[in-house]
Structure 1
Amino acid sequence: MSDASPAPVRAAAPSAARSGMLLALLAALGFSSLGILGKLSAQAGLPALAALPWRFGLAALLLLPWSRGQTRRTRGRMLGVGLLYCLATHAYFLALGRITASATSLLLYLAPAFVLLSSALFGRRPTRLQLGGAALTLLGLLVVVGLPGGQDNNALGLSFGVLAAALYGGYLLASERWLSGAPPLASTAAMSLSAAVYFGVLDSLDGQLVVPQGWPQWGIISGMALLPTLLAVPALYAAIARIGAARASLLATTEPLWTVLLAALFLGDRLRLAVLLGGACILAGAALAQVRGRTVQAPLEL
């Protein structure tokens, strides 16, 4: 850790800030397609966990040409960030197996709170607008996904949900601190390689490693590799580089809203009034958190 005193963070140029916000929204939209593709995968006879090694393996294979020329230190950091993502995803699925999908999604989007808390511990205090935005987005999520019900009285499942949020927040912060200046496609390649190996070993140990069969399953795998991986992950890394992990994570809370809208468009799900009201709160909170506040302290260099 550096001995230098933390210096004020320079505000991003308006053009960089705008592009960062658009990239964060694009990442949220890309990630939201995973829920739809996951349902289609199950309908095609391929469980979501069984699809993960192939999704990430295909993405890693396609991105290998962009991962050259990185130092050993940078490669190590990229793989470390990828491992954090794997651990967060694993905790998410462990929670999903014990509590409802709504409660799991709600707990996962506590991640911005962990990002703000961790940033404060490293000397970068969140602004009041960021705190207000986080509270407003949490209110919107409560409306969109619903309050935890009686079927969510599982302490282990709730613990895994909170752990997933903490690990995902750590993944976002590590992306900001360790991958600054690294090409987004190279970072995505390393993350995808980590995830392909991690979930391949996990499925092998559980006896769930299967080879996709036929064009329907391979088509879904291709969609998972393209939208929530090759599109969303580099967009997220690029957004974090421009506006920071805290602001990017708050914009990421729009993902459940996009998921609901995509489900209505492609799966015929009905749009409830609560979804529209909650979505408005999420968007308002995400927008509020992007308003420039006071100059804050930068985190200490690791």
Structure 2
Amino acid sequence: MTDRHKGAWFIVASAAGFATLGILIKSAFTGGANISTALAGRFLFAGLFLFGIVRARGIDCRLDKKVAFQLILMGAVGYGGMSGLYANAIHYLPASLTGMLLYTYPALVTVLALIVGEERFNSTKGIALVVCSVGLVLLLGASFEGAQLSGVLSALGAAVIYSCYIIIGNRILKNIDPMVTSLWVCTAAGLAFLCYGAAKGEIILELTPQGWLSILGIAVFPTLFGVMGFFAGLRLVGATNASIISMLEPLITVLLSAVLLGERITALQGFGGAVLLFGGLILQLWGHEARHETVTEV
């Protein structure tokens, strides 16, 4: 298996992990948590798990001061900001609409990568992006009717922040172990939410068992699997390819919702999922040469 294919599978695994986020956040809210509590618990628990894994494997997690500062900013401002806005959007919008708005970020990543010269854009990536976007709209079947402006702005803000986060990460993380990167990012995000929540008096410790189990689930699936898988794949396939492959996430979310929550999948959603998968197939079968050119230029 080539590095490109390994990277693609890492991103697919990451998308599967991230796909559980909306379901688990709603479960945590039902269990008595608020945004600050859920996200502080998510990232701090994930940081503890990662620290144990890093120590057990004997990986040195010390970094150069400049790189450490960059990762702290990526965690506290980048990933933390995106997560907070996403959780806020869920309060005001249907999950499907929130997902569609967040997944404007692959297009933003493609444009930003072209502007900063991080990667070369070609017709294959453009076709894959358009096909995946069409499939995403069909899959989610979201409607803007009755949407609250604060929720829409939160979701779009999350997409913008995440796009910048991916571009910056693709530039500075090439020679750093994904586990070390994830440890620094998650810990910084967790401490940021803990400090913010404590200052606002929003940290809630008296949660139901469902609340605590949901937060632990968020720490493991969309955080450990999601973040580590994304960082590992990002180094191998690049920002544009990673963001397009990640569009599999809403497809997996719909499937999980059908299995776990008993939600019905319509024929239109099924067709949209097939279109989305086809877009990813285009990228993997014919988009690798452009990535090779990018790697040789770095």
Deviation larger for 285-294 or 137-146: 285-294
Q: Which residue of 2 aligns with 1:72?
A: 65
Structural mapping, 1:30-69, within 5 Å:
30-47=17-34, 49-64=36-51, 66=54, 68-69=61-62
CA gap of 1:62–1:15, structure 2 versus 1, over 3 A, is same
Pair 1:152-2:147 in alignment: yes
| 1:182 positional shift | 0.7
8 Å Cα contact 1:30/1:232 also seen in 2: yes
- In the alignment, the residues of structure 1 paired with residue 78 and residue 7 of structure 2 have an alpha-carbon distance, to the nearest angstrom, of 23
Deviation at 1:37, TM superposition (A): 1.6
Q: What CA deviation, in whole Å up to 9, does each residue of 1:128-166 have, x standing for no partner?
A: 111111111111111122243221262x54333322211
1:202 lines up with 2:205 in the alignment: no
Aligned to 2:256: 262
Partner of 1:127: 122
CA distance in 2, matches of 1:280, 1:273: 11
What letter is aligned with 1:216? Q
Q: State the shift of 1:185 in Å.
A: 0.9
Residue 252, structure 1, aligned to residue 239, structure 2: no
How far apart, CA to CA, are the structure 1 residues paired with 2:237 and 2:16? 18
- 2:125 and 2:106 mapped to 1: Cα distance? 10
Distance in structure 1 (CA, Å) of the matches to 2:109 and 2:180: 24
List per-residue Cα deviations over 1:204-263 (Å, max 9, x = no partner): 354431015354332222211111111111110000011111111111111111111111
- What does residue range 102-113 of structure 1 map to in structure 2 within 5 Å? 102-113=96-107
The match for 2:131 is 136
Change over 3 Å in CA distance of 1:77–1:161 after alignment to 2: same
List gaps (5 residues or longer) in structure 1. 1-13
What's the % identity of the aligned pairs? Answer: 26
Selected match of 1:172 from 154, 166, 176: 166
- 2:176 corresponds in structure 1 to 182
In structure 2, relative to structure 1, the CA distance for the partners of 1:45 and 1:213 (3 Å cut) is: closer
Distance across 2 between alignment mates of 1:41 and 1:113: 31
Instruction: Give the TM-score normalised by the residue count of structure 1.
Output: 0.86
Letter in 1 for 2:210: P
Cα 1:144–1:47 change in 2 (3 A) is farther
Offset at 1:49? 4.6
- The answer to which structure has the higher helix fraction is 2
Instruction: Look up the SS of the partner of 2:154 in the other structure.
Output: helix
Q: Which amino acid aligns with 2:266?
A: R
| Cα distance between partner residues in 2 of 1:299 and 1:204 | 47
Please state how far the C-alpha of 1:87 moved relative to its aligned partner.
Answer: 1.6
Q: CA separation in 2, counterparts of 1:89 and 1:219?
A: 19
Task: Report the counterpart of residue 6 of structure 1 in structure 2.
Answer: none
